[in-house]
């Protein structure tokens, strides 16, 4: 029968914790494929197998969005019998007429009475005898026929790349500050790739920001949820707080003070919902609030780690990832967020922390934070 063979990378290096990561990956695969009938997921040492009743291409498309998978391929599964392996190899290679090939065999099951090189030689000979217009090239073949001797024999050629990373849910939970721009969804995705489940916080300032700006953020969460989790979006009604900042704080400091307030609010949300870190889409030097001095002032208000996975990336690199993961076209919709509508004419680039603390003294920010209205929206991964 045809099955999908799943390969994973660094999970195999986890030592005594390996089973935890493998079991989580199996669980995530089952969750991703729960809409399909006839799915069976099995785990053996170093491999995961998915048996499916048709819809192979659709299933592979779903698996492409499961973190932890580095590659997958449709394989033939046959009994540990040389004739069965011969027949499967011949059938598989008949679709490659005119191509060069070589056979590579792995034999984790040492009870099988033939060694890997001997199996490859015997199978290659049978292919040459029974398949027209193919020839052997061990140095630069068009086709590599892989054979794995385990509890059964598995034959396949060609690998479809997965997205790699760690299984989602193996590295805790964090809150991402999601603006609606290009950068923050990419930052969220990159931390999800390292196994971090996310919650999102969005700062909404009506009537200065449109409802369509909020809808854009909801759509970004829907896109991110396709990678394996429900996402809770916390919408902070930020208008009064933001107006107070621009009314009572030094104009050149309003952006950095606003960022400090956002971090305080996001950390409160993180603490309430069991998250242990914050995530931002900041890239060093990209704008005034992302210089080293500005980031130092922003970090000063937090008591938990702040992950900035884009910190050393160029904008072009970030755009490339956003296009790959499907967030780019959503992010470029022309609806401004609260970070872009009140930008001072001359924002400070190298703020001094003591001066910033002095500059925000006119705001009773703890009172504002305590009185904030925060709406919660649940975005399901199959929505």
| Known binding residues for ATP | 177-178, 202-203, 259, 281, 290
Q: Other CB atoms closer than 10 Å to residue 345's CB: what's the count?
A: 6
Is the alpha carbon torsion for 224, 228, 230, 234 positive or negative?
negative
Rounded CA separation 3/51 (Å): 5
Tokens of 273: 């919902």
CA distance 8 to 24: 12
Binding site: residue ranges?
Answer: 177-178, 202-203, 259, 281, 290
**Nearest CA among 52, 74, 75 for reference residue 152:** 75
Three-state SS for 232-290 is EEEEEECHHHHHHHHHHCCHHHHHHHHHHHHHHHHHHHHHHCCCCCEECCCCCCCCHHH
The CA-to-CA distance between both ends of the chain, in Å, stands at 33
Residue 115 parent element (H or E): none
In sequence order, the β-bridge partners of residue 3 are 51, 75
Q: How far is CA 195 from CA 28, 173, 191, 214, in A?
A: 11, 9, 7, 27
Q: Evaluate the omega torsion of the peptide bond into residue 207 and state whether it is cis, within 30 degrees of 0.
A: yes
- Both structure tokens of 347: 């924002």
In degrees, to the nearest 5, what angle opens at C-alpha 220 toward C-alphas 217 and 223? 155
């Amino acid at each position: 029968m045809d099955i999908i063979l799943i390969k994973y990378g660094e999970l195999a290096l986890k030592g005594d914790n390996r089973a935890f990561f493998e079991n989580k990956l199996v669980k995530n695969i089952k969750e991703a494929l729960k809409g399909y009938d006839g799915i069976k997921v099995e785990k053996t040492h170093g491999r995961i197998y998915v048996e499916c009743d048709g819809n192979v291409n659709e299933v592979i498309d779903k698996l492409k969005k499961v973190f932890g998978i580095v590659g997958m391929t449709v394989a033939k599964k046959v009994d540990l019998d040389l004739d069965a392996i011969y027949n499967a190899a011949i059938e598989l290679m008949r679709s490659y007429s005119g191509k060069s090939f070589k056979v590579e065999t792995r034999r984790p099951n040492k009870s099988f009475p033939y060694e890997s090189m001997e199996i490859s030689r015997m199978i290659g000979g049978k292919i040459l005898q029974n398949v027209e217009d193919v020839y052997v090239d061990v140095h630069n073949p068009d086709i590599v026929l892989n054979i794995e001797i385990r509890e059964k024999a598995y034959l396949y050629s060609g690998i479809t790349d997965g997205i790699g990373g760690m299984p989602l849910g193996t590295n805790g939970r964090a809150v991402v500050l999601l603006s609606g721009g290009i950068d923050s969804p990419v930052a969220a995705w990159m931390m999800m790739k390292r196994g971090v489940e996310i919650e999102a916080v969005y700062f909404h300032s009506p009537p200065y920001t449109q409802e369509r700006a909020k809808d854009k953020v909801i759509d970004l969460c829907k896109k991110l949820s396709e990678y394996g989790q429900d996402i809770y979006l916390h919408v902070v009604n930020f208008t009064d707080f933001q107006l107070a900042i621009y009314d009572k704080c030094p104009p050149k400091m309003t952006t950095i003070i606003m960022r400090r307030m956002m971090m305080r609010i996001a950390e409160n949300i993180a603490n309430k919902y069991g998250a242990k870190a914050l995530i931002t889409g900041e890239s060093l030097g990209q704008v005034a609030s992302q210089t080293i001095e500005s980031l130092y002032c922003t970090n000063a208000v937090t008591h938990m780690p702040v992950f900035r996975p884009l910190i050393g990336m160029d904008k072009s690199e970030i755009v490339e990832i956003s296009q790959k993961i499907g967030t780019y076209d959503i992010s470029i919709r022309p609806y401004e967020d609260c970070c872009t509508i009140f930008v001072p004419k001359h924002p400070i680039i190298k703020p001094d922390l003591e001066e910033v603390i002095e500059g925000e003294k006119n705001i009773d920010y703890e009172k504002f934070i305590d009185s904030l209205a925060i709406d919660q929206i649940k975005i399901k991964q199959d929505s």
